Amino acid sequence: MTTLLINCNTALMASRTKRKKGYSVVRAATDKLSKAVTVEKTELRKAGKLAAWTSIRQERWEGELQLQGEIPLWLNGTYLRNGPGLWHIADYYFRHLFDGYATLVRLHFHHGRLVASHRQIESEAYKAAKKNNRLCYREFSEAPKPDGFFSYVGGLAQLFSGASLTDNANTGIVRLGDGRVVCLTETVKGSIQIDPETLGTIGRFVYTDGLGGLIHSAHPVVTETELVTLLPDLVRAGYTVVRMEAGTNERRVVGRVECRGGPAPGWVHSFTMTEHYVVVPEMPLRYSAENLLRAEPTPFYKFEWRPESGSYVHVMCKASGRVVASVEVPPFVTFHFINAYEAVDDDGRITAIIADCCEHNANASILDKLRLQNLQSLTGQDVLPNARVGRFRIPLDGRSAGTLESALDPEEHGRGIDMCSINPTYQSRPYRYAYACGAQRPCNFPNTLTKIDLLERKAKNWHDKGSIPSEPFFVARPGATEEDDGVVISMVSGQDGEGYALILDGSSFEEIARAKFPYALPYGLHGCWIPEAAIG
């Protein structure tokens, strides 16, 4: 079966290089593929399993997808999604969702038609694992067995130099203002430039600034002119805020935040910004040097849960690098900030920062819930911990405490929320709508798409029984004046083993089109959009 698919795929790839414009060749190859797919679907149905938590079936594929419904003619461009997609090497199976080798998925929209493809990122970690048939670098929860580790990358010193850390860029994907597309994870070396058309790996994105740093936030804040990110400092607990101008590879220091809660910084998977300020979270789920050195994972993996150390939010002025507020807040756990903006009084003075995140009710057990075994075996059991849209209010008048409250009743989205997007025009500005994965219980993982109205404090939910949709990604209609005028793109794993791309109307949150993949893809994490005008 796999051979059939690969042969078909090879034919497709070869033909792709010959074609000039149009998709006729691709369509012929897709027809050929569909025969193979029928057999595969039968196998999957027998297995009765979601494809979300199982490895990709082959390294790459491309073809035109048949549509149900209509894609708006204005939607011209490329949606790219990154995420872990291969969780085993030979007969060794990884433990955690975040361990998988990166798989890129591409949806190319052109005049109402849709061509899809996927491909593995050729990181050093992936190539070494393939070549040596074993894990060679430290992944999120996995570490190479001492033999393989020493023979491949050398001694223990290389752990401290970062040489043994993974460059498996399986988390984020960003289009820089200069057009380059970079895939990211939390290790700095895991910044990899890819070709958005072929999904080929161009090579490591090298920072030329000498700032070093082994780890950074997986989610920089990117605009047309710059990229801002955080470098946690595990030695002198703190964060360096850095800024890289579009067109350069040079990060410059904006400023430094000292941690207030003890000897290690809080995990910063993401952070957020307003127009003038960088919002630096310090949560009690902290990096742990001790756990980093362990071969076997702990319940909190490379982190420690230290509620007694306190939770803080720091606010840095982007222009001066000065920390203008540093407040204690109620305990929190978040992977993803949604957005932030400045609250102003009647005289236009900035009085506070409002920052929203997908907040897991200060319960760090969510990390262990994302173990593959839990995801695969607990389907339909109500074990997903409660989560909410957490809204921080950080006063800028010198007060020492900030507040954290639910922005809406979490029942509106089934007490599950993560994997969020907004209309990017509203990034760092007052905004009304967020799109995310929510929950319809009982469930062990977010299983709905939810549109959150932060003004009305209401949610609209989309659900397909037994399926797992990935991050809903909002794309605005060119020329739109309403915040929710656009579409939301997601990729769904169905309960019978199939998979499809889904397009919802941003305003009504109703389905407007779906397109089945020949075979389902694993769950992916984050996406980005490249308008056709930018592709040229």
Ligand X SMILES: CC(/C=C/C=O)=C\C=C\C=O
Ligand Y SMILES: CC(=O)/C=C/C=C(C)/C=C/C1=C(C)CCCC1(C)C
Binding residues for Fe cation: 219, 269, 336, 526
The partner residues of 273 in beta bridges, in order of sequence, read: 278
Q: Does 186 bind ligand X (CB under 6 A)?
A: no
Q: Does 273 bind ligand Y (CB under 6 A)?
A: no
The entry of ligand X, ligand Y, none that residue 446 binds, CB within 5 to 8 Å by partner kind: ligand X
Sketch the per residue contact string, 431 through 450, with ligand X: x for CB under 6 A, - otherwise: ---------------x----
Q: Which two tokens stand for residue 251?
A: 């990060």
The entry of ligand Y, ligand X, none that residue 292 binds, CB within 5 to 8 Å by partner kind: ligand Y
Distances (CA, A) of 38 to 4, 136, 431, 519: 12, 36, 45, 9
The smaller minimum CB distance to ligand Y, of residues 109 and 305, is found at 305
Interaction residues for ligand X, span 365-404 (CB under 6 A): 366, 387
Q: Secondary structure of 468-490 in the HEC alphabet?
A: EECCCEEEECCCCCCCCCEEEEE
Query: Could you count the other beta carbons within 10 Å of the beta carbon of residue 223?
Result: 14
Candidates 79, 98, 462, 509: give the one binding ligand Y (CB under 6 A): 98
Q: Who's near 469: CB < 8 A, 6+ residues apart? A: 437, 447, 448, 449, 462, 490, 491, 492, 493, 502
Half-sphere exposure of 514 (CA within 13 A, CB side): 16
**SS3 state of residue 42:** helix
Q: Which stretch binds ligand Y (CB under 6 A): 137-145, 406-414, 449-457, 483-491?
A: 137-145
Q: Does 231 bind ligand Y (CB under 6 A)?
A: no
Least separation in angstroms between residue 240's CB and ligand Y is 15
44 with 63: CB under 8 angstroms? no
The entry of ligand X, ligand Y, none that residue 302 binds, CB within 5 to 8 Å by partner kind: ligand Y
Report the C-alpha gap between 90 and 42 in whole angstroms: 25
The entry of ligand X, ligand Y, none that residue 138 binds, CB within 5 to 8 Å by partner kind: ligand Y
The entry of ligand Y, ligand X, none that residue 423 binds, CB within 5 to 8 Å by partner kind: none
Q: Under rule CB under 6 A, how many of the chain's residues touch ligand Y?
A: 15
Query: Could you count the other beta carbons within 10 Å of the beta carbon of residue 478?
Result: 14
Which residue, 340, 338, 522, is CA-closest to 437? 338
The entry of ligand Y, ligand X, none that residue 170 binds, CB within 5 to 8 Å by partner kind: ligand Y
Q: Is the peptide bond before 446 cis (omega within 30 degrees of 0)?
A: no
Q: What are phi and psi of 272, to 5 degrees?
A: -145, 170
Q: Does 218 bind ligand Y (CB under 6 A)?
A: yes
The smaller minimum CB distance to ligand Y, of residues 185 and 374, is found at 185
The smaller minimum CB distance to ligand Y, of residues 207 and 431, is found at 207
* Angle, in degrees to the nearest 10, between helices 24-47 and 2-18: 160
Query: Could you count the other beta carbons within 10 Å of the beta carbon of residue 381?
Result: 12
Report the C-alpha gap between 436 and 418 in whole angstroms: 6
The smaller minimum CB distance to ligand X, of residues 334 and 428, is found at 334
Half-sphere exposure of 181 (CA within 13 A, CB side): 25
Interaction residues for ligand X, span 243-262 (CB under 6 A): none
- How far is Cα of residue 357 from the mean position of the Cα atoms in its chain? 14
Least separation in angstroms between residue 230's CB and ligand Y is 12
- How far is Cα of residue 515 from the mean position of the Cα atoms in its chain? 22
Least separation in angstroms between residue 219's CB and ligand X is 8
Q: Does 185 bind ligand Y (CB under 6 A)?
A: yes
Sketch the per residue contact string, 402 through 431, with ligand X: x for CB under 6 A, - otherwise: --------------x-xx------------
Q: Which stretch binds ligand Y (CB under 6 A): 44-52, 165-173, 175-183, 192-200?
A: 165-173
Q: Does 292 bind ligand Y (CB under 6 A)?
A: yes
Least separation in angstroms between residue 183's CB and ligand X is 13
Q: Does 89 bind ligand Y (CB under 6 A)?
A: no
Report the C-alpha gap between 392 and 69 in whole angstroms: 40
DSSP annotation of 371: B
Least separation in angstroms between residue 235's CB and ligand Y is 13
Element (H, E) at 390: strand 388-395
Least separation in angstroms between residue 301's CB and ligand X is 12
Chain positions contacting ligand Y, by CB under 6 A:
98, 138-140, 165-166, 170-171, 185-187, 215, 218, 292, 302
Binding stretches for ligand X (CB under 6 A): 171, 335, 366, 387, 416, 418-419, 446, 525
